[in-house]
Amino acid sequence: MSNTNLLNETHNPALSSWVKSANVENCDFPIQNLPFASFKRKHSEEALRAGVAIGDQVVDLKALYELNIFEGDAQLALEKCCSAQLNDFMSMGKRFWSALRQALSLSLTQGAAHEAKLASCLVAQTDVEYALPCQIGDYTDFYTSIHHATSVGKKFRPDNPLLPNYKWVPIGYHGRSSSIEVSGSDFKRPKGQTKAPTATEPSFGPCKRLDYEMEVGIFIGNGNDLGAPISIENAEDHVFGMCLFNDWSARDIQGWEYQPLGPFLSKSFASTVSPWIVTFEALAPFRAAWTRDEADPQPMPYLESQQNRDLGSLDLNLQVLIETQAMRKAGEKPVQLSQSNFKDSYWTVAQMVAHHTVNGCNLRAGDMFGSGTQSGPNPEEAGSMLELSNAGSEPITLPNGETRTFLEDGDAIIMKGWCKKSGSARIGFGEVNATILAAD
C-alpha cells in the first residue's frame, strides 16, 4: 500500500489560498495543513471556541457556523466547534473531521465562492490567545525512542542499557493530565525530595536537575468501549491529530522516587503542549515505511499489520531551542540545542493505540499520548539535557559563552516541528514555548 490511498484533493501541493500569508514559503500553516486550536481575542471577555490556522490568521469556527454556508456533515461538525473544547468534535470521528477539512479547503482556496464571507471570520494570530484544545481526560506517556531508552539506560546500567521487555512492549506509564498546559504557560521550578548518590539521607529543596523532553503529543478522537480493544488495522481511525509536547522533568526528584512504580512528582509539576493540533489526515503525505531490524524480535500479531509496515512511520522533523535570560536581555535569538525526527521511533502511533487498548482499556475523546522523548541515533539528536550533557557531567556551551548541564531559572525552551518532502506542501506545527520561573 502506498500513501496515495490516503491522499485527497486537500493535500494537493498546487493549491493556494486567497489568504496571502498562507502561500509564503516555509509558512507553517498553508492551506494543506488546517490545524485546530481553542482561542479567543487576547485580554477579551470572549468565550473560547475552536479555530483553524491559515497563514497568519485563525478562522473562527463559531463565526463560520453562524454564517450557515457549509452543509451536511461539515456544518454538523462546525456546530461542535463552537465550544471551548474540541472533545465533542473529536468524538465525531473521521467522516466528520474529513468533511470539515474538505469544506474549509474548498472555501479557503484561491477563487473560492465564499471568500468575502470567510474573510469576515478571520482573526489575526497576533491578536489571539490560546487554551488547551480539549479537555485531556487521561494522559499516557510512552517511551518509543530506542535511542533515548538506550542512552538513558546506559547511565544506570552500562552493560545492559535496555531492559528485556523494551523490544516487545511499547512501554508507557499513566501521567497526570491536570498539569498539562498550553504554550506560553510559564511555571515555577518544582521542589521535592532528592538524594545525591553519596548522601546517606535525602534532602528537600528546589530541583537542581531540571530538564525538558522533546516529544510529540497524540490526541485520540473517537474512543472505544471498555472491554473492546482497538485492532491495529483500525487504530489510525481513532487518532485525531498530533502536537508538540514538552514533558518537563525533574531528574534529581525522578532518580530518588522512580523505583519501583515509575515517575511521579518528577513529571507532574508541568507539561506543555503547542496550541495547534495537526490532524492525522493532514500528515498523510509524510507517512513512511516502518521497519523492524531483522535481528530484533518482530512484533506480536496484535502489533503487526501490512499498513503499519507500509506507512506506520511519520517523517516529522523536531527541533529544540533555548533562550536564556541573558540572551533575552541582549536581544539575541533562541539557539538550537538539537534536532531529531519522529521517523526514528521504535513504535508507531498505531502500535501505541493497539497496545494501550489490548487489555480492554477504554480511550476517550481528548485523551493524549506522549510519544516519549524523541532522540535520534546520533548523540546530537538527543531530545533532553540529560543526554546532551551526559547526565550533567559534560556542560554544553551556548554561542554567547553561557554553559548548561541542566536548565536554569529564566531559561525558555522552544520546540518546533515540521514535515517537508518533495512533491508535497511543507506543513508546520507552530511551536511550544515556556519559561522556567524561580522556585518560591
The catalytic position among 11, 114, 147, 148 is 148
> From the CB of 296, what's the least distance to Ca ion, in Å?
23
Contacts to Ca ion by CB under 5 A? 141, 213, 247
Q: What are phi and psi of 75, to 5 degrees?
A: -70, -35
Residue 410 CA to residue 404 CA, distance in Å, equals: 13
Residue type, 281: E
Handedness of CA 16, 17, 22, 23 (dihedral sign): positive
Residue 154 CA to residue 160 CA, distance in Å, equals: 7
Residue 351 CA to residue 242 CA, distance in Å, equals: 15
| Residue in this structure with the C-alpha cell 520561573, named with its chain if needed | 437
For residue 388, how many other CB atoms are within 10 A of its CB? 22
Q: Is the peptide bond before 260 cis (omega within 30 degrees of 0)?
A: yes
Nearest to 387 by CA among 406, 403, 401, 368: 406
**All residues at 6 or more sequence positions from 363 whose CB lies less than 8 Å from its CB, including other chains:** 138, 220, 223, 224, 230, 238, 353, 356, 357
Q: Which residue spans within 2-144 are E strands per DSSP?
A: 36-41, 49-54, 57-60, 122-124, 128-131, 139-142
Tell me 112's DSSP state. -
Exposed e or buried b per residue across 251-289, where buried means at least 16 C-beta atoms within 10 angstroms of its C-beta: bbbbbbbeeeebbebbbbbbbbbbbbbbbbbbbbbbbbe
Question: CA angle at residue 309 from 418 to 426, to 5 degrees?
Answer: 20
DSSP string, 319-375: EEEEE-HHHHHTTPPPEEEEEEEGGG-SS-HHHHHHHHHTTSPPP-TT-EEE-----
Catalytic annotation present for 43:
no
Select the residue whose beta carbon is closest to Ca ion and give its number: 247
Cβ 352 vs Cβ 308: under 8 Å: no
Cβ 27 vs Cβ 119: under 8 Å: no
Residue 292 CA to residue 294 CA, distance in Å, equals: 6
For residue 165, how many other CB atoms are within 10 A of its CB? 9
Residue 80 CA to residue 91 CA, distance in Å, equals: 10
At 424, list the grid cell: 508535497
Enumerate the active-site residues. Answer: 148
